[in-house]
Amino acid sequence: MTASRVSRSKYLLVTAIVLLVTMLSATDPTEDLSEAEMGRILFFDKRFSLNNSISCADCHIPQFAFSDTTALSKGFAGKSTTRNAPPLTNLGGRPYFFWDGRAATLEEQALQPIQHPAEMGMNIEELNKRLQANPQYVNWFKKQYQQLPNAQLAAKAIAAFERTLETGNAPFDLFMDGDSGAISISAMRGRDIFMEKGKCFDCHFSPDFTADEFKNIGLFNGKNLNDSGRYSVTGNPTDIGKFRVPGLRNVAITAPYMHNGMFKSLEAVIEFYNNPSQKFPDAINRDSTLNKPLNLSTREKSDLLAFLQTLTSTSAKTK
Ligand code: HEC
Ligand code: HEC
C-alpha cells in the first residue's frame, strides 16, 4: 500500500464520519428515533458526567474509531484513567469488555464509566433525575420503551448504538474478496509475516483479528509495569499480566497502543514484538510464543506495518 493510498482512505473515513454525524445531528427532536439513534445522542451527552463536562465521546472520539489519542484519558474532574481508552468499533460479537474482560455485555459495561470516580463520577439516582428532566428524552423513552428514562434503559440504547459501529470494506477485505490490486505488494508480504514469521496470527485471528482470549505479552513486571490485568478479576495466578487480545481493525488510527497506551506508534509496537524480552527482560509470566526474538529485517518491519494499515475501513459501513 502506498502512502497516498493510506492518506486517501483516512480522508474518506473521516469524511464519511463527518457526513454521518452532520446528518444525524440534524434529527428533528419530535421525530421517532430508533433505539440506536437514541443511543448515539446519549453517547454525546455531557449530562452523563457529574459536572456536565464530558460525554462518552470525549474519551471515545469518533474520528479515531472511537478511541482516545492520549495514553490515559482525563475524566470529569481532570483525573486520569489508569488504562488506555480502546476503540469501540466491531464490539458486537465480543464475549466480554474492558482490557481485563470484567464486563460481559455492552449494557453492563456502559454503567461502569458513568459511575467511575475518575471517569464521569455520576450516581444512578442523579442521572435518572437529569434524564427525566429532559422533555425530549421523556418523549423518546416513552415511545421506545413505554417507560420514563432511567440509567439502565440509557445503557441499553447506548449498547444498541455501539452495535452499529461495525466496520468492514477495509482494503484488506477487498483484497480477500478477490481485488488483488486493493493492497500493495509490500502489504501482501506483510500479511505473510503476520501469519507466519511474526506469529501475530497465533493470537490475533478471526475476522476481527482477536480470538477473544487473554494473553500475556510481557507488559507486567510488578514494578513500573504493575497492572496485573485479568488476574485482578479472577484472582488466578496463571492470569497475572494477561490482557484481552485486542482486535486490530482500524488499528492504524487508534494510537497510542496497549492497555497502558505505552507505544505511540505501530512502528514502536513492531519494534517491541521483534524482541519482547530485550525491551522488558523482567516481565513476569510472558507467553512462550514471544520468548524468541523474531529477527525481522527493516523491510519485513515495514511490510508488516503496511499490512496493518490495510485494516482501516474507508467508512463505518456495516460488515
Ligand atoms: C474518562 C474517559 C472515559 C469516558 C468518559 C468513557 N470511557 Fe469508555 N473506556 C475508557 C477506558 C480508559 C476504558 C478501558 C478501561 C479498562 O479496560 O479497564 C474504556 C472502555 C470502554 C469499553 C470497552 C471496550 C472494549 O473493547 O472492551 C466500552 C464499550 C466503553 N468504554 C464505552 C463507554 C461508554 C458507553 C461511555 C459513556 C457512558 C464511556 N465509555 C465513557 C475511558 C472512558
Ligand atoms: C501471545 C499472543 C500475542 C501475539 C503472538 C501477538 N499479540 Fe498483539 N496483542 C496481544 C495482547 C494480549 C495485546 C494487549 C496487551 C496489553 O495491552 O498489555 C496485544 C496488543 C497488540 C496491539 C495493540 C492494539 C491496541 O489497540 O492497543 C497491536 C497493534 C498488536 N498487538 C499487534 C501484533 C502484531 C503485529 C503481532 C505480531 C508481530 C502480535 N500482535 C503478536 C497478544 C498477542
Compute, in angstroms, the gap from residue 270 CA to the centroid of ligand 1: 26
Choose the residue to mutate in 94, 199, 217 for probing ligand 2, maximizing ligand atoms within 8 Å of C-beta.
217
Question: Quick check: 95 and 104 in contact, CB under 8 A?
Answer: yes
Nearest to 17 by CA among 97, 120, 88, 76: 88
pLDDT at position 314 = 78
C-alpha–C-alpha distance, residues 249 and 193, integer Å: 17
Kindly tell me if the per-residue pLDDT of 26 is higher than 80: no
pLDDT tens for 192-233 read: 999 999 999 999 999 999 999 999 999 999 999 999 999 999
Compute the mean pLDDT over every residue in the chain, rounded to the nearest whole number.
Answer: 92
Nearest to 205 by CA among 191, 185, 186, 188: 191
C-alpha–C-alpha distance, residues 109 and 155, integer Å: 8
What percentage of the chain carries pLDDT values higher than 90? 87
Choose the residue to mutate in 98, 116, 123, 208 for probing ligand 1, maximizing ligand atoms within 8 Å of C-beta.
98
The residue to which cell 497492572 is assigned: 227
Kindly tell me if the per-residue pLDDT of 27 is higher than 80: no
Question: Quick check: 305 and 266 in contact, CB under 8 A?
Answer: yes
C-alpha–C-alpha distance, residues 166 and 284, integer Å: 35
C-alpha–C-alpha distance, residues 16 and 89, integer Å: 15
pLDDT at position 316 = 39
pLDDT tens for 31-52 read: 789 999 999 999 999 999 999 9
Q: Which ligand is nearest to the CA of 287?
A: 2
Neighbours of 151 (CB within 10 A): 21
pLDDT at position 30 = 57
User: 200: Cβ below 6 Å to ligand 2?
Assistant: yes
pLDDT tens for 113-169 read: 999 999 999 999 999 999 999 999 999 999 999 999 999 999 999 999 999 999 989
pLDDT at position 126 = 97
C-alpha–C-alpha distance, residues 153 and 277, integer Å: 47
Question: Quick check: 157 and 35 in contact, CB under 8 A?
Answer: yes
pLDDT at position 4 = 47
pLDDT tens for 244-279 read: 999 999 999 999 999 999 999 999 999 999 999 999
pLDDT at position 102 = 97
pLDDT at position 216 = 98
Q: Which ligand 2 atom sits closest to the C-alpha of 256?
A: 27
Question: How sure is the predictor about 9, in pLDDT bands with cuts at 50, 70 and 90?
Answer: low
Q: Which ligand 1 atom sits closest to the C-alpha of 82?
A: 12
**Quick one: cell of 67?**
478511541
C-alpha–C-alpha distance, residues 144 and 43, integer Å: 17
User: 245: Cβ below 6 Å to ligand 2?
Assistant: yes
The residue to which cell 463520577 is assigned: 121
Compute, in angstroms, the gap from residue 33 CA to the centroid of ligand 2: 38
Q: Which ligand 2 atom sits closest to the C-alpha of 67?
A: 26
Q: Which ligand is nearest to the CA of 311?
A: 2
Question: How sure is the predictor about 86, in pLDDT bands with cuts at 50, 70 and 90?
Answer: very high
**Quick one: cell of 273?**
514484538
